[in-house]
Amino acid sequence: MKRTAFFISDGTGITVEALGRSLLGQFEHTEFEYVIKPFIDSVEKADHLVSQINAVAELDGIRPVVIDTIVDVTVRTALKNANAFMLDIFSTFLAPLEEELGSASSYSVGKSHSIKEDDQVYKDRIDSVHFAIDNDDGGRTRHYDTADIILIGPSRSGKTPTCLYMALQFGIRAANYPLTEEDFDYGELPKALRQYKHKLYGLTIDPARLAAIRNERKPDSRYASIRQCDQEVTEAELLYQRFGIPYINTTHFSVEEISTRMMVEAGIERRASPK
């Protein structure tokens, strides 16, 4: 079965998309086509969107699923005119919370992603992103003393996206260092990493998957050959085992799962969390 799902927000849409994908991901026998609609912050925009939703319902022959985090009551009311199954996140949870807390919600748009003048969490995230970029791919190693974690692994095994995700999402100062054939020949940790062994975390990957990724960058090269990829992955895992470095296979995990598992095992706290 195939259904269209609209994720609607009066802000960036980040929250509703995360919640919506998590909810609908539980229904593995239904194929969803996702449509994200951010900044629906007026009745006029809502009315226009209702027309789009109704057109999709007619085209699909079945009503779409609509999940929203709209704060304004008048905008929410306008959306109810759509021929869709409506799941209103805020109205579902705000009323019970108001009753429990004995306090009325401010019903303000964009609270979860707004920036306050003294928002240290936001500053940590931005500083961490700069750190990840400056310390990417072993280009610089002199700031490793201030890193929370240093990812190592063969080229294209997922180090850079994982570092950037941890930085942006959690404010983690993550550096990464690529393991090369020269490192494997010596059988030792690269000199730049030796004093930071306690910060190291290894990545490995299925050689066939690594070859496919590398072929997108350098088709039909030795770098992308299955033989080369198999050799590098094998040597990397032997290095991790030799020096007691924890590692994770990234083949079947998303960057979100890789980051979270890694942080839990390394005992790293999320900085970008409400205080």
Binding residues: 153-160
Strands 174-178 and 2-8: unpaired
Q: Which two tokens stand for residue 44?
A: 């006029």
4: helix, coil or strand?
strand
Cα–Cα distance measured from residue 34 to residue 147, given in angstroms and rounded to the nearest whole number: 37
Q: How many CB atoms lie within 10 A of CB 178?
A: 20
Name the binding residues for ADP: 153-160
Residue 256, C-beta contacts closer than 8 angstroms, at least 6 positions apart = 165
CA distances from 25 to 17, 28, 173, 252 (A): 11, 6, 31, 16
Q: Are 174 and 163 in contact (CB under 8 A)?
A: yes
Cβ burial 66-104 (10 Å sphere, 16+ → b, else e): bbbbbbbeebbebbeebebebbbbbeeeeeeeeeeeeee
The b/e string for 148-162 (b: 16+ C-beta within 10 A; e otherwise) is bbbbbbbbbbbbbeb
